[in-house]
Amino acid sequence: MTASKLPHCNNFVCSWFFLISSSFICLFQAGKATTPERFFVTQQQGTHVLRGVPGLGALGNGQPVPFGGKLFVREDSGIELRLRSGEIMRLGSLTNAGIDEARLLQLHKGAILLSLPKKSKPYRVSSPLSELKISGEGAVMLGITQSGGFKAVGIYGGVRLDLDNTSMELGAGELVFIFTGGSGFSRKVDVELATIVQSATLIRDFEQPLPFLEEMMTAARRQNRLIRDRYRALVGDAKTDKEFELKIIKDD
């Protein structure tokens, strides 16, 4: 039996073939590596308007959110967005926000709910007068205050809030104000998780519940057992960087 001969390869032709193949592989890998993350609409209720994207005035379920556009959520409405890596963002009633990148949100007005899964990359949110980086494994509700900063409430797990020169860990059932210009945080205030779960429209006003809702309710029941001596109060807005409203509710 004679061994079959491999076809002869001219050195010049083989070199060009190798270079072309290598270039193709490099281009393919580079394209794959630079594919941007995008939020997709997963559910919504009510109506919203998309501005800044020619030919597109609103988004339907399953559609990607284009970068550079601005979302205006109407009154008594809401929209939920998700990344394929598991992050969830809900925009509430009367919220105006712009998404420049998958992990960069400009929050001009209103409130959002942001959920970060395990090993999630940090997320940056800017308001008219402040900017904040959020990381960790948990969920937080974030709203714009009258002073132009943020009000943040931890609702699940634990997140880390970073400013330029300071940071804070925020757990479920804790509230903090972020002052304008990155000047710092207020003291933390404990809030009742059960009340948040029952009343927050960002949690309850969507057809499909949050994937961690049951765990959040379990944490709320555990918190109720741990808190024995407490007073009822409403935490209001931060009108300045020096103080925030706290109204005591008297029992009848």
Asked if the structure places residue 22 within a domain, the reply is no
Let me know if residue 14 belongs to a domain: no
Cα–Cα distance for residue pair 92/45, rounded to 1 Å: 10
Please indicate, yes or no, if residue 15 is contained in any of the structural domains. Answer: no
Domain membership flag for residue 191: yes
Give me the residue label for tokens 């020619």.
54
pLDDT at 85: 93
Which three-class secondary structure state does DSSP give residue 247? strand
How many domains does one find in the chain?
1
Question: Per the domain annotation, does 20 fall within a domain?
Answer: no
- Whether 26 is covered by a domain: the verdict is no
pLDDT confidence of residue 136: 96
Of 89, 99, 92, nearest to 75 by C-alpha is 92
Using alpha carbons, list the distances in angstroms from residue 117 to 24, 65, 100, 114, 148. Answer: 35, 20, 21, 10, 28
Specify if 12 maps to a domain.
no
Structural domain including 157 reads 40-248
CATH number at residue 215: 2.60.120.1440
Mean pLDDT for all residues in the chain:
82
Q: Which residues contact 61 (CB under 8 A, 6 or more apart)?
A: 41, 42, 43, 44
Distance (Å) of CA 96 to CA 48, 79, 203:
10, 12, 18
Rounded Cα–Cα distance for residues 40 and 23 (Å)? 33
Q: 236 near 249, Cβ under 8 Å?
A: no
pLDDT of residue 17: 42
Cα–Cα distance for residue pair 148/192, rounded to 1 Å: 25
Please name the amino acid found at residue 200.
A
Given this model, what pLDDT does residue 229 score? 52
Instruction: Give the integer Cα–Cα distance in Å for 43 and 122.
Output: 24
Q: Look at residue 147 in the predicted model and tell me its pLDDT.
A: 86
Integer Cα distance of 100 and 216 in angstroms: 31
3-state secondary structure 180-238: HHHCCECCCEECCHHHHHHHCHHHHCCCCCCCCHHHHHHHHHHHHHHCCCCCCEEECCC
CA–CA distances in Å: residue 221 to residues 45, 108, 194, 212, 224: 29, 34, 7, 15, 5
Position 141 in a domain: yes
Residue ranges, the chain, pLDDT below 50? 1-7, 12-33, 231-236, 238, 244, 246-250
Element (H, E) at 178: strand 174-178
